[in-house]
Structure 1
Amino acid sequence: MCNILLGKKLGMTQIFSKTGDTIPVTILQIGPCTVTQVKTKQQEKKSYIQIGYEYICPQKLKKPNINHFKKNGIPCFKYLKEYKTKSADIPKIGQILTINKFSVGNYVNISGTSIGKGFSGYQKKHHFNRGPMSHGSTNHRQPGSIGAGTTPGRVFPGKKMAGRMGNTKVTIKNLEIVSLNTRKNIIIIKGSIPGKNGNIIYMHKK
């Protein structure tokens, strides 16, 4: 069974429980996805499944991508995702995967790209403390020393410094499915997920 499906984030809202509690939820449109490639490695005892999401005109793709879909006799897709599995239940090429395997109360992991916030300084990105603001101080928002002088004579990789903030892959685990609509491929998740509306997300079933 497929344990990963692709979809889009539609937005956030809130619903009310039977006791009147407010529940913040995220609305997702998941699938339908199509199996575009299956590779099985007997030595590793693993299978690599590639799925496609959102149909696209072949004229917008390059020849190698078009031939990849044409070889398997399936339509062209804009987004592809590959995952590996050890399960004996391997889907076939061209099989359409939907959210029918999910149900209310299931817990899933969702991965997406967080919202980019541009170039940010030390205080905003890493929550550094500021320098003294009194008269005569020349260090208000500067980082201070970033390393020794002669030894080692360089800045170590991974040093917390100013730079681009956001726009990275983020995974939120153990999100509960509150509601789903199999006819419209809509899933309502309790809580928030990374990214802005319209972003592509990957849903992993636990």
Structure 2
Amino acid sequence: MLALNRGLVSRLQLFAVDSPSPLRFLRGFSSDVETTTTTASRIIVPKPGVMTPESKRTGIIAVKCGMTALWDKWGARIPISVLWVDDNIVSQVKTPEKEGICALQIGCGQKKEKHLTKPEVGHFRAHDVPLKRKLREFPVTEDALIPVGTSLNVRHFVPGQYVDIAGITKGKGFQGGMKRHNFAGGPASHGASKSHRKLGSTGQRDAPGRVFKNRKMPGRMGGVQRTVKNVWIYKIDPARNLMWVKGQVPGATGNFVFITDAVYEKPDISILPFPTYFVPEDEDIDNMKPLVADLGDVDPFMITD
């Protein structure tokens, strides 16, 4: 780059005296000014750490396998959802130096290259990770960052803790007010003629003469993201990467769900693996027995499977 004359450079120096960084006005204008730029590269080491109350771990992606049931000691049926953690891996790390945030992108499943777009294939090739079927970004704290390529399994969570599970609910198409919003409907006998399931009045007369926004009316039902909070983990199976949770989770069988630590029923940080569970070299995962939550002296469940 051509150097400017000394008069202009001196004026710029006088103008930038009171600025926090006087040389930032001269970068690129003069070859006589020496500028040094140091880019600090973050080195992330995959090793266990110490979790603090302010720490936030990443979540994982699972596939909803279906429903089963347990019976308590009184004979009541308790629904249990089965989730499969299908080959989760860290596909991208976002740091404050580059992206301005702390987050981890997690990939789940497998997919062929012919079924992906060229930008998607380029993204996986740039980070040198296998092609994944589903991607999800989870915000984390700086002490919970994990390097690219780290594998996440079902032991990221522990039995007995509470988690939040998000997913896309089942789509039910166009539905009326009674099914969509649980309206009571009209009279079932006297005074009703072919209007038993009608919506009823939705507006006014000439003042204001319109229907207000967000009025509950018939329309498309389902097919939106919902989060079920405070779901209790009953059992995990490290050999098959399966997880049993108490209750229902959003979505149909085969859909992806996103599992994170519970926000309200916070788990005990002393029992959680941080930033995730790193499998020891001498551990035989294929022969590990399922881990069941501690239910106390009397087991209220009588498991059937």
- TM-score scaled by structure 2? 0.61
Displacement, 1:131?
A: 2.5
Pick from 150, 167, 179: which aligns with 1:95? 150
- How far apart, in 2, do the equivalents of 1:136 and 1:41 lie? 64
Deviations 1:147-180 (A, max 9, x none): 2344434322211000112222121111111111
- How far apart, in 2, do the equivalents of 1:43 and 1:154 lie? 50
**SS of the counterpart of 2:122?**
helix
Pick from 37, 40, 59: which aligns with 2:95? 40
Pick from 102, 106, 109: which aligns with 1:51? 106
Pick from 171, 192, 213: which aligns with 1:116? 171
Q: Which residue in 2 is equivalent to 1:130?
A: 185
- How far apart, in 2, do the equivalents of 1:19 and 1:139 lie? 44
Return closer, same or farther for 1:23/1:122 CA change in 2, 3 Å cut-off: closer
Q: Which of the pair has more CA radius of gyration?
A: 2
Query: Superposition pairs for residues 1-206 of structure 1, below 5 Å?
Result: 2-16=57-71, 22-41=77-96, 46-132=101-187, 133-134=189-190, 137=193, 139-206=195-262
Deviations 1:58-95 (A, max 9, x none): 11111111101111111111100012112413011111
21-30 vs 187-196, which moves further? 21-30
Return closer, same or farther for 1:21/1:137 CA change in 2, 3 Å cut-off: closer
Q: How many residues align?
A: 206
Deviations 1:41-60 (A, max 9, x none): 25997402111111111111
* Aligned CA-pair RMSD: 2.5
- How far apart, in 1, do the equivalents of 2:141 and 2:207 lie? 49
Give 1 or 2: higher strand fraction. 1
Deviations 1:90-111 (A, max 9, x none): 0111111112232211111111
Return closer, same or farther for 1:182/1:18 CA change in 2, 3 Å cut-off: farther
Q: Unmatched 5+ residue regions in structure 2?
A: 1-55, 263-305
Displacement, 1:31?
A: 3.5
| Contact kept in structure 1, 2:102 and 2:141, CA below 8 Å | yes
| Contact kept in structure 1, 2:96 and 2:102, CA below 8 Å | yes
- How far apart, in 1, do the equivalents of 2:149 and 2:80 lie? 33
| Matched residue type, 2:214 | G
- How far apart, in 1, do the equivalents of 2:155 and 2:87 lie? 10
- How far apart, in 1, do the equivalents of 2:192 and 2:78 lie? 51
**SS of the counterpart of 2:133?**
strand
Return closer, same or farther for 1:160/1:135 CA change in 2, 3 Å cut-off: closer
Q: Which has the higher contact order (CA 8 A, sep 6+)?
A: 1
98-107 vs 58-67, which moves further? 98-107
**SS of the counterpart of 2:144?**
coil
Overall identity of the aligned pairs, in %: 35
- How far apart, in 2, do the equivalents of 1:186 and 1:83 lie? 21
- How far apart, in 2, do the equivalents of 1:49 and 1:140 lie? 52
- How far apart, in 2, do the equivalents of 1:166 and 1:91 lie? 35
Return closer, same or farther for 1:138/1:48 CA change in 2, 3 Å cut-off: same
| Matched residue type, 1:56 | K
Q: Unmatched 5+ residue regions in structure 1?
A: none
- How far apart, in 2, do the equivalents of 1:20 and 1:121 lie? 37
